[in-house]
Amino acid sequence: MANHVELRDPEQARLFLLEGAQLQRVAPPTASSLRNSLEWALEAASAGQPLPPLGFIADLGLVAFGLDQGMRGARDSLGGAGLPAGLARSYEDHVLGKLYADWNFERASDALRRYQGRDRARGLAFVLGQFRERAGFPGVYLSPGVIRGILETPLDDALVRGGETLLRDGLMPILPELYEALIAAARRLADVLGPEDIFELEHGTALAELGQRVALRQVLQATERLEATLPPHRVRPLAGRQVVPTRVLDEDTYPVGGYSSLSTRGSIESLLYSQLAYMEKDNRPDLFDIKFLRDELLYYSRDENQFLRRRRTFVFALAPDLPRTRFKDAELPWQRIVLLLGLMTAVVRKLSEWLSTDALLFEVLFLDNGEANRLIQERNLLDMVLREPIKNNTVVLEKCDNLEHLAEHCGRLARRSLCHCLLVSADSPTEFRANDTTVSWLRVDAATPVLTLAGDTDEEPETDGPLEAWGAALQRLLQAWI
């Protein structure tokens, strides 16, 4: 079976659900588990998803919400009815086994358990949909009204009817076919969910509107793609670049050494207690005085090294003409603005990883030139993607009126830290300078970005395509800022 099937007959759709409920393997079917699985299936069907057998939805929910504790292996086969023995074992090994062993699914389960009320069902429907899209197994389209109709009836009676029909007439032919396709798809699949799926679940955006979710996923995918172009190790700074911190504050340094050795010179506070044994009560001068005059007393010697926690500030200044970059080039998998947001996110991630011993601050400033904020959608996306560094004050999203105010702001930052500024626009670089600030320009007026570093006389490196050019720009920017 390669394509989805549509069940228009309400009786056939009801039979598909009730017989499928008998096939769950994690725990024996009950009225309570039937209600849960029907509610989960209702959310998925209402979102337009094709449904796999209801037994698989029940198993997925039981494992995801941790409702299977103490129930594994408690499911007995229904005599001669139900799935064939070989198919049931393959399902348990390759499908349920993957759910239990996949660490991505475990993280998704932890995120789902924090949801409350209807959001739990909506979250599971999201997991089911992403699993189906990644694996590519087929399902059945049916009316959500059929599911609501079953929920309005006594579920104990519905469960009994499903079992009797299964024993009397056997399985609907479509159910074994769906299970076979599910097993084959699970065997081909590496991970149940992707990193962007986990991100959405953990940050609660999995329940957001479709357009917002699509944009968020594209930014995350672009970030992963650009990071994959970087070398596995930390990039080296550009040749010939020497950066010396000129703004060193008292709070940026602190001693790291302790008592490391013994010396014949030191303060009385560092004197070894054992040297006091040379003091004599009667004879003067005593041996302690002699050793003191000869500099033979022993003192603890402290390592006077100091640790410098360098302050670094990185400013992304986004020009008001960037809405023009909401354009999808044929050579690129995403819009230019999506790749720009992905590049900025990759810079924040990599510099936070490589410069973990420095005090970092990333500022994203939206220039408006007196106009309304035309990049509000992009700001909302960055607010979601960089939620954690924003909470710990590593990233700041602010508005800036014009280039004059930007220069003043960068000058104030440079008084306390090493400051870099990247001016991003869809036009040619604008003449811009700020005191003690290294300024670079990124022009995004075509599929291939143009990065101009401060004092850069080198030509743009040759790349195989526009997407590779974005990766090269990311690497050069990291080399200039590291």
CATH of the domain at 456: 3.40.50
The verdict on residue 238 lying in a domain is yes
Q: Among 286, 304, 322, where does a domain finish? A: 304
pLDDT of residue 76: 47
pLDDT of residue 252: 56
Q: Is 458 helix (H, G, I), strand (E, B) or coil?
A: coil
Residues 199 and 236 in one domain: no
The verdict on residue 250 lying in a domain is no
Peptide bond preceding 245 in cis form (omega within 30 of 0): no
The verdict on residue 224 lying in a domain is no
Residues 330 and 453 in one domain: yes
Q: Is 132 helix (H, G, I), strand (E, B) or coil?
A: helix
DSSP assignment of 207-263 equals GS-HHHHHHHHHHHHHHHHHHHTS-SSPPPPPTT---------GGGEEE---EEEEE
Residues 280 and 139 in one domain: no
Residues 298 and 338 in one domain: no
Residues 169 and 286 in one domain: no
Closest by CA to 73, choosing from 107, 30, 118, 25, is 25
The verdict on residue 443 lying in a domain is yes
pLDDT tens, residue order, the chain (482 aa):
557 889 999 999 999 999 999 999 998 889 999 999 999 999 999 988 999 999 999 999 999 998 876 555 444 444 445 788 889 999 999 999 999 999 999 999 999 999 998 899 999 999 999 999 999 999 999 999 999 999 999 999 998 988 888 888 888 999 999 999 999 999 999 899 988 899 889 888 888 777 788 888 899 999 999 999 999 888 888 765 555 455 555 455 555 556 667 888 888 878 888 888 888 877 777 888 888 888 889 988 866 555 567 889 999 999 988 999 999 999 999 999 999 999 999 999 999 999 988 889 999 999 886 565 788 889 989 998 898 899 999 999 999 888 899 999 999 999 888 999 999 999 877 788 888 899 999 999 999 999 998 766 555 666 778 999 999 999 999 999 98
Residues 330 and 462 in one domain: yes
Task: Tell me if 443 sits within 8 A of 428, measured CB to CB.
Answer: yes
Residues 339 and 425 in one domain: yes
Tokens of 163: 């079992």
Residues 294 and 405 in one domain: no
Closest by CA to 38, choosing from 15, 55, 23, is 55
DSSP 94: I
Please give the Cα distance from 389 to 401 (Å, whole number).
Answer: 24
The verdict on residue 108 lying in a domain is yes
pLDDT of residue 456: 65
The verdict on residue 248 lying in a domain is no
Please give the Cα distance from 251 to 264 (Å, whole number).
Answer: 32
Residue 363 main-chain phi, psi, to 5 deg: -115, 130
Q: Is 354 helix (H, G, I), strand (E, B) or coil?
A: helix
Closest by CA to 141, choosing from 295, 13, 308, is 13
Residues 263 and 126 in one domain: no
- Residue 126: burial class (beta carbons within 10 Å; 0-12, 13-18, 19+): buried
pLDDT of residue 64: 93
Task: Tell me if 122 sits within 8 A of 207, measured CB to CB.
Answer: yes
Residues 27 and 119 in one domain: yes
The verdict on residue 220 lying in a domain is no
Please give the Cα distance from 126 to 192 (Å, whole number).
Answer: 12
The verdict on residue 222 lying in a domain is no
Please give the Cα distance from 245 to 417 (Å, whole number).
Answer: 8
Q: With both helix axes pointing from N to C terminus, report the angle between 10-21 and 144-151 in degrees, rounded to the nearest 10.
A: 60
Backbone conformation region of residue 66, classed left if phi is above 0, alpha if psi is from -120 to 50, else beta: left
- Residue 258: burial class (beta carbons within 10 Å; 0-12, 13-18, 19+): exposed
Total domains in the fold of the chain? 3
Residues 41 and 131 in one domain: yes
Residue 342: which domain range? 230-242+310-481
Residue 396 main-chain phi, psi, to 5 deg: -130, 130
Q: Is the dihedral of CA 211, 213, 218, 219 positive or negative?
A: positive
Residues 263 and 200 in one domain: no
- Alpha helices (H) in 152-209, listed in sequence order: 155-169, 174-188, 195-203
Please give the Cα distance from 26 to 17 (Å, whole number).
Answer: 17
Against a cut of 0.85, is the pTM above it? no
Q: Among 289, 304, 319, where does a domain finish? A: 304
